[in-house]
Amino acid sequence: MDQEYSIYKLKEIEYICFMKNLFLLLITLTFVTSCATPHVVSVIGPNDDSLSCSQISSEISIASNYKRDAKAEKSYGTATNVGAILFWLPGVVATQMNANDAIRAADERINHLTRLKSKKDC
């Protein structure tokens, strides 16, 4: 009887440990996915060659907005970065790296569209 009780207790402890680890994994995944927020744009769009001059200007404006948003995310005063600094420091690094990628991609997109605009004599 004592042996059955100990096996039951052992299985219960294993289950509790499993659930605790699963919960910690879900929390970690939540932090990882919520930290890196800036949108990284595609440098060359599939329909860029067929855009009109006004559409190119509009696309340049959109890319500039993405760049502005990414620069704002690099600030350590945002709620995401403050939370990451307090609770999960690698989240700050992930956000900064993603913001740098987003800024670089937006710059390249703007340059690509500007070259396209001059090529079309806009």
Q: Render pLDDT for 38-72 as a digit per residue (tens, 0 to 9).
A: 778 888 888 888 888 899 899 999 999 999 988 88
Q: Which domain holds residue 75?
A: 36-119
When the pLDDT of each residue in the chain is averaged and rounded to a whole number, the result is: 80
Residue 105 covered by a domain: yes
Establish if 8 belongs to a structural domain: no
* pLDDT at site 121: 86
87's tokens: 């609770």
> Burial, 71: exposed, middle or buried (Cβ in 10 Å; 0-12, 13-18, 19+)?
middle
Q: Is residue 20 within 8 Å of 81, Cβ to Cβ?
A: no
The better pLDDT of the pair 103, 2 is held by 103
Is 85 within the bounds of a domain?
yes
Nearest-angstrom CA–CA distance, 9 and 78: 47
**What pLDDT sits at residue 88?**
66
Give the global pTM: 0.61
- Say whether pLDDT at 9 is over 80: no
Q: Tell me if 48 sits within 8 A of 111, measured CB to CB.
A: no
Number of domains in the chain: 1
Q: The tokens of 104 are what?
A: 């670089």
Q: 73-112 pLDDT, tens per residue? A: 777 666 666 666 676 667 677 778 888 899 999 999 999 9
Inform me whether the pLDDT recorded for 30 exceeds 60.
yes
